[in-house]
Amino acid sequence: MASRRSILKLGALTGGSYLVNAGSVRGQLCAPDGIPPDLIVRPSPVTTPFVVPLPIPPVAVPMDESALDPPPDPSKHQRYEEFPPVRFYEIHERQFLHTYHPEMPPAVTWGYNGITPGPTYHARWGEPVFVRMYNDLPADHVGFGIPSTTTHLHNHHTASESDGFPLDFIDPGEFHDHHYALFPAGFDDREKLTTLWYHDHRMDFTAPNVYAGLTGFFLIFDEEDSGDENDPNPIAWRLPSGDYDVPLMLHDVLFDQEGQAVFDIFNTDGILGDKWTVNRVIQPYFEVEPRKYRFRIQNGGPSRFYELFLSTGQPFVVISNDGNILPAPVEAQSLKMSVAQRHDVIIDFSRYRPGDQIVLENRLEQLNGRGPTGRILDEGAGIMRFDVVDLRGPDNSRVPEVLRALPPVDLTEVVKERTWAFDYDGGLWTVNGKPADMRVIDAEVKQGTAEIWTLRNEGSDWSHPIHIHFEEFQILEFNRRPIAPGDVRFSRKDVVTLGPFDEVKLFMRFRDFFGRYIMHCHNVVHEDHAMMIRWDIVPA
C-alpha cells in the first residue's frame, strides 16, 4: 500500500496549499467540511499484488440471424438496407458475482453476458454488425446504479438511434437493437478506428453503471490491421496478434471491508478507488514471452487520470490514440491517459530474460475526483506486472515505420465556429454556463459540413476529459499552438483533456447520418452532474 502512504505524505505536505493557492475565488471549489477523501478514510481491504493472472475477455460469438426473435426491423435504422449486417449478436446485461481478488469475497457486479469486461467484439471494416442488447438486470435492484441502460459504442461512426443516446434507455426485460454499419466516416479509409470500447451511457447514472461493470472492448480489423502477424498479404502490417494482442481495461475501484465495491453517489467531484484493476481484477500479473506484444490500454474511469510508466524505464511504442492508428509509431516514456482515453502500444520484451519482472506503474498524483495535481510521484503504484517466461515460438510480428495517414484538414469546408466553455456553477458542472437538458438542442450542425469547435476549461482547479460522439476530430491548436508531428496528439481523437484553463481548437466533420448526438465530460461523475450538451445533425 505504498501508494496510499505516498498520497498521505504528499497530502500532508501540500494538500492545504494546493487548495488555498488554487487561483481566483471564481476558480475555487469549497469542498464540504468533514469529507476527507474516501480512499484515505475508508481504504479497501489489503490484498497481495500480482497474484491474480490477467483475465482476457472472451471474443463475442455471433449467432444466426434467424435465431433473433423478433427479427431485426430495418425501418428503425438509418441506412440498414444499404449496409445489411453480416454478423449478429445477442448480448444480455446481467448481475453476477465477480471475484476481483482471491483474498476478497466475490462482489455483486453488472456485466455484458454476465462478465466484466464484457465479451470483446471482433469486427471488420465493411462487414456490418447487428447487436441486440437485452437488459436482464434485476428490476428490484437496491443500491448504486440503475437497472436501466443504453449502450454507447465509443466512438464508432454510428447512426443516432444506435449510438446509446442517454435517453434511449431500456428497462429490465426490454431490448434495444444497434446497427453498426462498419464503414469509416465519409467512406475515407483514413477515418478507420481500431480499438473501441462499449459502455453504458444512462442519463444521470452513467458513472455508477459503468463502475458497476458495464464496459467491454470492440476491435475492428481490416486488411492492414488484419489481426494476423503471419499474414501473407503484402499490405498487412503484421502487428502482434492473437495471444500477443491483449486488451487492458483500467478501472480504479474502492471496496468495503466485505469486499463489495462502494460508490458515493453524492460526491459530485468524481470517484477515486484505491484498488487498481485491469480487466476487473486487482493488480494482476501477465506472463509474457521475450517478444513483441500489442496492448490496447483503455482508461475505463470513472474519474482517475493516469500517467503510466514501465518500471524498467523502457519506453512504449505508441501506435494509436483513442483507437485511431497514428501516422507513424511514437516512442513515449510515459502514457498520459485521462478517462476514456485509449492507446495501443507495442512493448518488446525481447530485451528481458525469463524470470524478469516489469511493472506497469501509475505515477500521476490525484487526490480527489476533480482531476490530477500534475505531480509525478517518485514511487509508482503497480497496476500490473509482466512476468517474462520462455519464448514459445518465433516472433514474426512487425511494427511498420509508416502507419495510417491523417485525413486532410480542409478549412474551406468550415461553415461555422463554436466555443464551448466548461465550468462550474451552483454545484453543477456546466457547458457555456448551462447544465445538461437532453430535451434541449444546444447546437444544430449541417450534415456534410465541417466546423471548428473551441473548447475551454474555465476552472483553475479541475480537469475535464471531453468526449465528442460520432466523428473523430483533429486538434488544430492546443493553447494556441499547433500539435507537432511526432506528438501522440498529432492524430485523430475523440477525447481531449482540458487541464486548468486549457483551450483547444478542433476540426470536426459531420457526415453520413442524422440525429441526436452529445458532447460531455468523460469524468462520468461530471457527466452525470450535467456537463453534457446535445447537438443534432440536420440536413444541409
Partner 1 sequence: MLAAGAAAVPAAMLYKYFSALDADRGEAAVVPTRNPGPSAGYFPNVRLRTHEDEEVLFYDDLIRGRIVTINFMSCRADVVYPVTANLAKCQRLLGGRVGRDIFMYSITMDPEHDTPERLRGFAEKHGVAPGWKFLTGAPSNLKLLRDHLFARRESPGACVVQGASHRMCCSVGLVRYGNEALARWASFPARIAPESIVARFSWVGLDRPTVARTT
Binding site for partner 1 (CB under 8 A): 25-26, 28-35, 41-42, 95, 97, 107-110, 136-148, 171-173, 204-205, 212, 256, 258, 260-269, 425-428, 435-440, 528-530
**43 contacts: CB under 8 Å, gap ≥ 6:** 1, 4, 274
Q: Which is nearer to partner 1, 267 or 338 (CB)?
A: 267
Cβ at position 89, least distance to partner 1 in Å: 20
Cβ at position 260, least distance to partner 1 in Å: 5
What is the Cα–Cα distance from 347 to 329, expressed in whole angstroms?
12
What is the Cα–Cα distance from 530 to 515, expressed in whole angstroms?
21
**Encoded amino acid at 326, one letter:** L
What is the Cα–Cα distance from 447 to 443, expressed in whole angstroms?
13
Q: In which order are the strands placed within the sheet that holds 195-200?
A: 118-124, 215-221, 195-200, 151-154
Q: Which is nearer to partner 1, 69 or 81 (CB)?
A: 69
Cβ at position 421, least distance to partner 1 in Å: 13
Phi/psi zone of residue 41: left (φ > 0), alpha (ψ -120 to 50 degrees), beta?
Answer: alpha
Nearest to 130 by CA among 161, 88, 181: 88
| DSSP structure class, residue 232 | -
What is the Cα–Cα distance from 47 to 361, expressed in whole angstroms?
17
Cis peptide before 117 (omega within 30 of 0): yes
Q: Which is nearer to partner 1, 509 or 534 (CB)?
A: 534
Cis peptide before 155 (omega within 30 of 0): yes
**DSSP for 493-532, written as a single string:** ESEEEE-TT-EEEEEEE--S--EEEEEEESSHHHHHTT-E
What is the Cα–Cα distance from 316 to 341, expressed in whole angstroms?
16
Q: To which residue does cell 456546466 refer?
A: 430
What is the Cα–Cα distance from 198 to 59, expressed in whole angstroms?
14
Say how many Å lie between the first and final Cα of the chain, rounded: 57
Cβ at position 24, least distance to partner 1 in Å: 11
Q: Which is nearer to partner 1, 46 or 235 (CB)?
A: 46
> With contact defined as beta carbons under 8 Å apart, do 135 and 173 qualify?
yes
Q: Which is nearer to partner 1, 111 or 465 (CB)?
A: 111
Cβ at position 16, least distance to partner 1 in Å: 15
Q: Which is nearer to partner 1, 103 or 136 (CB)?
A: 136
Cβ at position 279, least distance to partner 1 in Å: 19
What is the Cα–Cα distance from 299 to 335, expressed in whole angstroms?
11
Q: Which is nearer to partner 1, 149 or 321 (CB)?
A: 149
Cβ at position 473, least distance to partner 1 in Å: 27
Q: Which is nearer to partner 1, 171 or 413 (CB)?
A: 171
Q: Which is nearer to partner 1, 30 or 484 (CB)?
A: 30
Cβ at position 312, least distance to partner 1 in Å: 38
Phi/psi zone of residue 107: left (φ > 0), alpha (ψ -120 to 50 degrees), beta?
Answer: beta
Cβ at position 218, least distance to partner 1 in Å: 24
Taken as a whole, the chain contains a residue count of 540
Cβ at position 427, least distance to partner 1 in Å: 3
What is the Cα–Cα distance from 511 to 79, expressed in whole angstroms?
13
Q: Which is nearer to partner 1, 151 or 341 (CB)?
A: 151
